[in-house]
Structure 1
């Protein structure tokens, strides 16, 4: 059965017209690359961000005690710590949203591509993973496009669950970072959102402009979605472990059914299958694994990420790599400044003019390809 599923996926791939250029070939391969991108890039980044968020939370929790026990000799040190705290929290909030968007985009792209192809995301992934194109040699040499997981996972549903679990592993660290930021607070004397800091330094000046991100992360919209997720999945790490266990149970169940039906007669296959399935589950100890709906957990995780991205949109970026101050622009102001050709964002007309020599070639290439940056 597993071999038949993968053979059908390979046949579907063979029926497609050959890609006309490397970019088209890369687009076809992206679906298969997502699990490796999630595990090799997004998950380590999320783990580092989770650690940073915990470090941000700890001094925030101790701020009141430190203030009560402060002395004149330590006032300078505390002022420095508060300044660092003011910068770290908004920066962490920004990274949380960027990472949340990095989890949403592959899922949305997969759904859109599947709809355009008239298939499901799982079927499209099975087609993509059997491509084995030459593009992989030009991308990452150690990247192997082969079925994920052990042999019992080599089916369309089994492969799709492995795809989902790869994103959930990164989401687990992101969830931890969000939780830490939700319990942390800016120092009492931190500037309000949108109010620039008094200091002229780039570090302290930036904290006032970005502090609104902390408020948006804790906005009513994202908070209600967070509470709904927490009530449904109160122990996310255990749920993800159980999801992996449920995937193994399903895969072993499928293997047992196939093995039994191919070695028994039609009249006795039903009872033999039941006996064999019980033996598979009991011998592996998986009967104690809580059955978790992997699809539902994956859907709920993406819903939380989407709520966070919607509450904290990210037009307040500048395409000029030499920009250091964002020109004090608010998000609404930055949203109105973009390249007329490719729609990439700039914080000011001055930054756009300064970056045009570098940006011109890429802009013209995107326009020629009919592509524009997401609004």
Structure 2
């Protein structure tokens, strides 16, 4: 017997039986009956209460959900039954029951879910679950971004171990920018949405293989020893956390709840605005790039007053009220309409910008001047 539910209420199904007759040969007899979906006959308030019982597990940056990965990654097919693939999707099947249940439950499921993925998967995730900007209001409760700057470092043929790196390598790292525009737009349309970058190496205890002074073995030594390496583990973990301090400033930027900032991001002029970040391993300072399309910058952004306008823009947007604001730098600009060749990728053109770089000392000085003016008035 086949059954289906359409438009949420009642559906007609067909039940088919075969029988043989010596005179008439094979015959097929079909009869129809009506199957009721009693769940959808319940009052909406009762259905909503039932939906809220189907809640996903709550996670945080310390107890992270399993990493969500694409089925095909770099030519490899993931194990279809792995926890990484299933992750926090325990109640996802409820969104596939029928059109009405999907319409009612899917927004609830998305808003109370927690996801964990790499930054490269965010674009596909957002376009799959939030195909239109109007659906951003149902952004998940928490989106953890698994981050490993060692993967970026590998592009330059070196691995950072927390102790040393070349000046050339430092300069290359500062030129690498990561796009966080979609995360910013989700936050603008859903203030309850939280995006956090977490170090993959810290989550997985992937620390340096330090030498233990107590037993004489390394942390990852295969020898059977009774030493728990407690002090050495603490030292290795501290070193790893120290090399990812800039994520704290990045997460503070993503969590900015200033209404002027969020309102600006929801505007149509921001549809194609680019928000990126880079970081300096030595200073542990991130640099945020906020760059507008040509003719889309807020009123007053011109070459002759770019310096003062950019600082006022940061003030109005609440950037100078963020935790660790003194550790952040900004590049604010507008497209010129021209293009330049990408120095790393042959044949790729990148837009050029009229822009200004505001370093930490400039921002701190401006902050003090504004506070002095406020006190004087």
Structure with more contact order per residue of length (Cα contacts < 8 Å, sep ≥ 6): 1
TM-score with structure 1 setting the length:
0.28
Q: Please say which structure displays the higher CA radius of gyration.
A: 2
TM-score with structure 2 setting the length:
0.28
